[in-house]
Structure 1
Amino acid sequence: MKTKLVKGLATVLLASLVLAACGADEGEKTSEGEGSEGLDSNLVTIATGGASGPYNIIGTALGELYSSELGVNSKTQTTGASVENINLIKQEKIEMAFVMSDVLSEAVEGVGNFDEKVGNVSQIASLYPNYVQIVTSKKTGINSFEDLKGKRIAVGAQNSGVEVNARNLLEGHGITYDDVEVDYLGYAEAADALKSGKIDAAFLTSGIPNASLMELEQGLDMMLVPVDPEKIKEIAQDQTYFVALDIPTGTYGNEEAIPTAAIMNALVVRSDMSDDDVYKLTKSFFEGLEGLTNAHQAAADISLEAAQEGMVAPVHPGAQRYYDEQ
């Protein structure tokens, strides 16, 4: 009787050990599987731009996508946009950012707003075009770019991508900041200043439509100032990131397409992020384009096919790995 009891206890103990071992194996497999879907980084902060701009709207949707799909704590940081975003990457305070290609070009070359080359910024993709939207009221008498001379204009937040391309376009037309009264205002502030008559015109360079301009359209007899395509081609001989595009008919109630300049946007990351992490961020970004387009229609112009065209910074190896697989 005693022998049978001992044998029974031994059998139970052995079975328990086998079950425990299987459970441990399953636990290891589960943990390993979850790890392969997530990131090495625990946090991915995405620097965007003004609260009402496409950068912030698309960036917020992207942060939510990363949090849900990759299980990482991803959030956006509202900023003064491109120049500030590059400096935040340089200071290793963020992991990812939306920037304009003109500012990114300055950063990798160490010119303009940057005293030295920014070496720890890599590009994931070329995105969608930012249209230079020069808005005024019909009562100002501003009908052409040259009419901006002597006027009080908003050129974007200081050192933003908007301000960089506004300054370059003005200089390309033979107009310096000494020839105008400059206000450094972001999208919403510029729209309010136009509405109250404090300024005569404003540069709002962004994807279209711009939310601030859509609101402004309701309370102002506004018009968009055209930019001569031939002049843009001339300026682009030195500032190669400028292209001539039209703001489509009906974007802001305009009955005709408005010729203007445009600059491609770029999605960038810190170069020191791991290849695996950037591969997963890139993959999730392109697989989630439909959701980003639902957040803001400017994202409809982003495509995998065109993502490697017009890159001005070195592509991150993790992003390149994703492209090579396609």
Structure 2
Amino acid sequence: MKRKSLFLGAALIILLSIFLTACGGSQKEGENNSGSNKGTEKAEGGKKDYGIKFLSIATGGTGGTYYPLGGNFASIIQDATGIDSNAVTSNASAENMALIKKEEVEVAFTQTDIATYASEGTMMFNGEKVENVRGLGTLYPETIQIVTTAKSGIKSVEDLKGKSVSVGEAGSGTRANAEQILEMYGLTVDDLKARNLSFDDSTTGIQDGTIDAAFITAGTPTGAVEGLAATEDVVIVPIDSDKIDSLIEKYPYYAKETIGAGTYPSIKDDVETVAVQAMLVVRSDLTDDLVYDITKAIFENTDKIGHAKGKLIKTENALNGMGIEIHPGAKKYFDEKGVSAK
């Protein structure tokens, strides 16, 4: 009897031990599951699945404006979407369109006119349309400056006829700007002694007297022009208002622009001209949600842009001079904000 009681007691102890182990194991498993769920939630971070894990922004050279802005944008986009984002160097606008076409980047900087040429397969993209590019938003003006000096005697676009003028490097956006502005005055580059020079070579040529004037398309003030202005009385040739209207009517990627008095030391009065816009484009295959969130992140965080151009980036101006089809995700954002092209 005593032996039977001992046996029953041992059995009860074993059963109790098994029960406690099972409960402990169950509780531990529950804790593990809870930890696993938290890990998954943390990994997902409540973020959407955008269909991509990495995002590259094609910019320009490290000494230009696009590259530092691109670094700012990459940080803003990564914070908003959780997608690893980075800025990559390039030869800027035209090359960036090629990178979009080859699907080597998701987002790119360019000028509005270059984006239009790419989407139409015209100018430097003759017969080579970039069909997968869509607009995200325009950023700030790239001003067309017709630069000369007081001693040249050039005061109007008509005065360029017969003069030695740099019209930008062959195949460049500046060259196209020069051709289109001259067209409004019934002129062509053949009416000039045209030179195809870089901005630095153009201002050097003006300074040493080998050329009389130059077309320069860049944000103002432009470093090359500032260098010239340090030794010469720089003149910026105005474009007549009726010619500006005609230019914009035919080439809608242009916008009116004013070079303010004091931009360069010798500029005493405002000068009326035109500008194309620096803009962001995206690949057409990016999801609407992703492009909406990128657009929202950039235009609602301009205070986080550590470059002077950040002050010019405004939601209300983001469709000015767009020129190409806007991505539906970006359109949704601007529609919500009541923004339309001016």
With normalisation by structure 1, the TM-score equals 0.84
Give the Å deviation of 1:302.
3.0
Q: Is 1:14 aligned to 2:5, yes or no?
A: no
Distance 1:244 1:111 in 2: 23
Match of 1:278 among 291, 299, 307: 291
Cα contact 1:103–1:164 (8 A) shared by 2: no
Distance 1:251 1:289 in 2: 24
Give the Å deviation of 1:322.
2.5
Q: Which amino acid aligns with 2:139?
A: L
Gaps of 5+ in 2: 1-12, 338-342
Match of 1:108 among 114, 119, 134: 119
In structure 1, the partner of 2:275 is 262
Match of 2:311 among 290, 296, 300: 300
Match of 2:55 among 33, 38, 44: 44
CA change 1:276–1:84 in 2 (3 A) is: same
Distance 2:204 2:308 in 1: 22
Pairwise mapping of residues 1-326 of structure 1 onto structure 2 (< 5 A)?
1-33=13-45, 35-36=47-48, 40-49=51-60, 51-69=62-80, 70-79=82-91, 81-113=92-124, 114-115=126-127, 117-253=129-265, 254-292=267-305, 294-297=306-309, 299-326=310-337
Cα contact 1:83–1:103 (8 A) shared by 2: yes
Aligned length: 322
How many percent of aligned residue pairs carry the same amino acid?
Answer: 35
Distance 2:199 2:67 in 1: 12
Q: Which amino acid aligns with 1:247?
A: I
Deviations 1:258-311 (A, max 9, x none): 12122334321111122232122112111222233x4023x4333222323443
Give the Å deviation of 1:155.
2.7
Give the Å deviation of 1:320.
2.4
Give the Å deviation of 1:251.
1.6
Cα contact 1:50–1:187 (8 A) shared by 2: no
Distance 2:70 2:231 in 1: 28
CA change 1:63–1:30 in 2 (3 A) is: closer
Deviations 1:51-107 (A, max 9, x none): 54444443343234334554423113231x433332332232332223333333333
Q: Which amino acid aligns with 2:116?
A: S
Computed over aligned residues only, the root mean square deviation of the Cα atoms, in angstroms, reads 2.9
Distance 1:215 1:315 in 2: 38
Give the Å deviation of 1:158.
3.0
Give the Å deviation of 1:189.
4.5
With normalisation by structure 2, the TM-score equals 0.81
Distance 1:223 1:145 in 2: 12
Give the Å deviation of 1:125.
1.6
Give the Å deviation of 1:247.
0.7
Based on CA coordinates, which of the two structures has the bigger radius of gyration? 2
Cα contact 2:58–2:107 (8 A) shared by 1: yes
Cα contact 1:100–1:266 (8 A) shared by 2: yes
Distance 1:92 1:22 in 2: 40
Q: Which amino acid aligns with 2:312?
A: D
Q: Which amino acid aligns with 2:22?
A: A
Distance 2:264 2:44 in 1: 51
Distance 1:278 1:214 in 2: 38
Distance 1:84 1:192 in 2: 26
What secondary structure, in the 3-state scheme, does the structure 2 residue paired with 1:142 have? coil
Q: Which amino acid aligns with 2:30?
A: V
What secondary structure, in the 3-state scheme, does the structure 2 residue paired with 1:305 have? helix
Q: Which amino acid aligns with 2:282?
A: V
Q: Which amino acid aligns with 1:269?
A: V
What secondary structure, in the 3-state scheme, does the structure 2 residue paired with 1:9 have? helix
What secondary structure, in the 3-state scheme, does the structure 2 residue paired with 1:19 have? helix
Give the Å deviation of 1:313.
1.6
What secondary structure, in the 3-state scheme, does the structure 1 residue paired with 2:27 have? helix
Cα contact 1:98–1:267 (8 A) shared by 2: yes
Give the Å deviation of 1:204.
1.8
Gaps of 5+ in 1: none
Give the Å deviation of 1:17.
0.8
